[in-house]
């Protein structure tokens, strides 16, 4: 905990994780750290490529939990949203109760959003309703590998990492960011995959799962809460190391990418 305080970005020090002002603070930190922008650009590229690979339409693309991100710089047509209103985003949107017409969205993108949802079952029902057939939801979430589990369980004061949690629902809902279990994606899509398929398999399928290849850049950038740990000119070296270590990504990758795809009508029960 003492080390955490030493490396914490001054701008976030003392700001509650559920405070609306934290979104703009994180946006400014992201803009000022090229190494972090490189890591997030990899997130965005991998999400778009995953959706393209599955043949998802592109008529309407929505980012959930956009916060201080910059997907719109790469994908200008994307509709940026967050559960909290923010002037730089297109609109506010609750992922568990979307004010969106049925079968009107082609793609959802979400980075570190899923584990913050109080009731994932509401989210899945909304995906089935709102996605058009063959539409996708691309999630990037913490990976439960050795390095990731150790790291994610120690760097956040307001989140935890518990793969043994029995329920999917968040037990004590605080604000939109606090009290989240970062292991939720592996609980739902790995440990309880049979439960997911039984409850939602008629409308959604887990189309693909993979590892994100930007873990070294993300770690040494310090993310949006901590100081960058290496000079920006190390970016090419970190990229090369990530490529070299790709065959053993399950051991060191910090995040995983999960693609959910809505079944075509002929596949519905």
Give the pLDDT of residue 159.
87
**Cβ atoms 102, 129 nearer than 8 A:** yes
Please give the Cα distance from 206 to 65 (Å, whole number).
Answer: 21
Give the pLDDT of residue 268.
46
**Residue 201 above 90 pLDDT?**
yes
The two counts, helices (H) then strands (E), for the chain are: 11, 9
Nearest alpha carbon to residue 254 among 209, 215, 210: 215
pTM: 0.94
**Residue 269 above 50 pLDDT?**
no
Give the pLDDT of residue 266.
59
Pinpoint the alpha helices (H) of 10-164: 21-32, 34-53, 71-74, 120-130, 146-155
Please give the Cα distance from 104 to 88 (Å, whole number).
Answer: 23
Please give the Cα distance from 107 to 48 (Å, whole number).
Answer: 9
- Stretch among 98-112, 168-182, 230-244, 254-268 having the lowest mean pLDDT: 168-182
Q: Over range 170-183, report the average pLDDT.
A: 80
Q: Express each pLDDT in 141-169 by its tens digit.
A: 999 888 888 888 778 778 889 999 999 99
Pairing of strands 255-262, 131-142: antiparallel
In sequence order, what are the beta bridge partners of 140?
111, 257
CATH code of domain 2-267: 3.40.50.150
Phi, psi of 78 (to 5 degrees): -70, 140
């Amino acid at each position: 905990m003492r080390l955490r305080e030493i490396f914490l970005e001054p701008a976030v020090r003392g700001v509650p994780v559920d405070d609306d002002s934290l979104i703009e603070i994180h946006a400014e930190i992201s803009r000022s750290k090229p190494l972090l922008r490189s890591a997030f650009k990899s997130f965005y590229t991998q999400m778009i490529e995953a959706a393209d690979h599955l043949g998802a339409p592109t008529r309407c693309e929505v980012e959930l939990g956009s916060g201080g991100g910059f997907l719109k710089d790469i994908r200008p047509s994307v509709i940026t949203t967050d559960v909290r209103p923010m002037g730089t985003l297109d609109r506010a949107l609750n992922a568990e109760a979307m004010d969106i017409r049925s079968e009107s969205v082609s793609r959802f993108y979400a980075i570190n959003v899923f584990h913050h949802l109080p009731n994932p079952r509401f989210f899945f029902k909304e995906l089935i309703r709102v996605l058009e057939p063959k539409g996708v939801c691309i999630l990037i979430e913490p990976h439960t590998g050795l390095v990731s589990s150790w790291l994610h369980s120690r760097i956040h004061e307001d989140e935890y990492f518990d793969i043994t949690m029995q329920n999917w629902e968040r037990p004590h809902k605080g604000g939109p960011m606090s009290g989240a279990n970062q292991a939720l994606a592996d609980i739902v899509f790995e440990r309880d995959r049979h439960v997911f398929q039984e409850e939602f398999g008629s409308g959604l399928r887990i189309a693909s799962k993979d590892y994100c290849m930007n873990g070294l850049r993300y770690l040494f950038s310090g993310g949006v809460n901590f100081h960058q740990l290496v000079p920006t000119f190390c970016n090419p070296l970190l990229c090369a190391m990530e490529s070299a270590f790709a065959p053993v990504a399950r051991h060191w990758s910090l995040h995983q990418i999960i693609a959910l795809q809505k079944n075509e009508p002929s596949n519905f029960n």
